[in-house]
A and B are shown apart, each in its own frame.
Chain A
Amino acid sequence: MLLRKMLTENVVRLDVEGLSTPQEVIEYSGRLLADAGKTNEAYVKGMVDAYNTLGAYMVMAPGLAMPHARPDGNVKEPCISFVKLKEPVNFHHPCNDPVKIVFALGGVSDDGHIDILKSLSSLLAADHIIERLSVIDTYEELMKLIEKEVKE
C-alpha cells in the first residue's frame, strides 16, 4: 500500500505547535521531506515560493493543504509528508481556512507522483476524513486509518 509505505514515521508529525503563518507551516512540512533525504533544501524553498506567488489554492478543501513545488531536479524520489497542527493556521483562503491537516508532496517528474496522488485521493474520498485525521493521536492510528480507507 503506497501511501502507508511512504508515510514513514520520520515524515509524520502530530500536534505540531508554534507555527502561525502559512510559510512556517509549508516550510515545516517540506523540511520533513528534506531531512528524510527525499528532497533538497531548494525544494522546500520552492514550496514556500509557490505559496507566495500563487496564493492559497493549495488549501484544496476545508482544513486541508497540499503544498508542493515544481520538481526542477530537487526531488530524489516521489515523497509525501503528513503534519497535523495543534492550532489551526489561517492560509488566507476565501472559504477553506483554517488549515489543520497538511500533506506536503514531492514529485520527480510531472507525472511521476501520480500513484501517490491516486492513493491520497482514495484516502481523502473517505467520509469526514479531515475530521477523522484531526483527532488522530498516534502514528499507529494514522496507519490504521489509511489501511481502512485507501483502496488500491
Chain B
Amino acid sequence: MRVVTVCGMGFGTSLMLLMSIKDVGKKYGVDVEGEATDLGSYKGRPCDFIAASSEIAKQIQADVPVVAIENLLDKAAIEEKIKPFLNK
C-alpha cells in the first residue's frame, strides 16, 4: 500500500499523519510505503490514496481517493478510514 500525506508545508501534520497510518499498517501486518508532501507537490506522485487533515483535503484535486482526517490524534478514526485501503 502506498500513501501520500499532504499538509501546508509537507512536514508537520502530514508527517504525523504518515506515522499514524504506518502504525495502522503495522497493526494489520501491511507494509505501508509513503511520503509526506506539501500542497504544491503532491500531484503526480503514484499512490493508492492521499490522506490529509480535513482543512487541507478540501483543497486537493486527485484521481485517487482522498481521505480527510478531522482529528489527527483520533487513532481509532484514522484506523477506520484507512482500513478499506489495507489489501493484504
Residues on A lying within 8 angstroms of B by beta carbon are 50, 54-62, 64, 66, 68-70, 93-96, 105, 107, 110-111, 113-114, 117-118, 120-121, 124-125, 129-130
B4-45 at interface with A (beta carbon < 8 Å): 7-13, 15-16, 19-20, 39
Contact of A125 among B7, B39, B73 (CB under 8 A): B73
Q: Is the CB of B55 within 8 A of A129?
A: no
Minimum Cβ distance to chain A for residue B53 (Å): 5
Given A60-B16, A129-B73, A55:B55 Cβ within 8 A = yes
Query: Could you say which residues of chain B place their CB within 8 Å of the CB of A120?
Result: 16
Question: What are the residues of chain B within 8 A of A96 when measuring CB–CB?
Answer: 70-71
Expressed in whole angstroms, the Cα–Cα distance for A59 and B73 within the complex equals: 11
Residues of A within 8 A of B54 (CB): 57, 94-95
- Does B2 reach chain A (CB closer than 8 Å)? no
Inter-chain CA distance A95–B13, complex, in Å, is 16
Assess the A121–B55 pair: CB atoms within 8 A: no
Judging by beta carbons under 8 Å apart, are B15 and A60 in contact?
no
A113 touches B11 (CB 8 A): yes
Decide if B81 is an interface residue (CB 8 Å cutoff): no
A58-B72 in contact given A94-B54, A95-B54, A121-B19 (Cβ < 8 Å): no
Q: How large is the interface on B (under 10, 10 to 19, 20 to 34, 35 or more residues)?
A: 20 to 34
Collect the chain A residues with CB atoms within 8 Å of residue B20's CB: 121
Q: Is there contact, CB below 8 Å, between A118 and B19?
A: yes
Question: A57 touching B71 by the CB < 8 A rule?
Answer: no
Contact of B12 among A56, A105, A130 (CB under 8 A): A105
Q: Give 12 A-B pairs besides A57-B13, A110-B10, A120-B16 with Cβ atoms closer than 8 angstroms.
A: A57-B54, A57-B55, A60-B13, A60-B73, A68-B12, A95-B54, A105-B12, A113-B11, A121-B16, A121-B19, A124-B73, A125-B75
Supply 8 A–B pairs (Cβ within 8 Å), ascending by A. Answer: A57-B54, A57-B55, A59-B55, A60-B16, A60-B53, A60-B72, A60-B73, A117-B19
Smallest distance from the beta carbon of A109 to chain B beta carbons, Å? 9
Q: Report Cα–Cα, A120/B19, bound state, in Å.
A: 12
Q: Is the CB of B55 within 8 A of A110?
A: no
Residue of B nearest to A66 (CB): B12
Contact of A62 among B8, B13, B71 (CB under 8 A): B71
Q: How distant is the Cα of A125 from the Cα of B71 in the complex, in angstroms?
A: 12
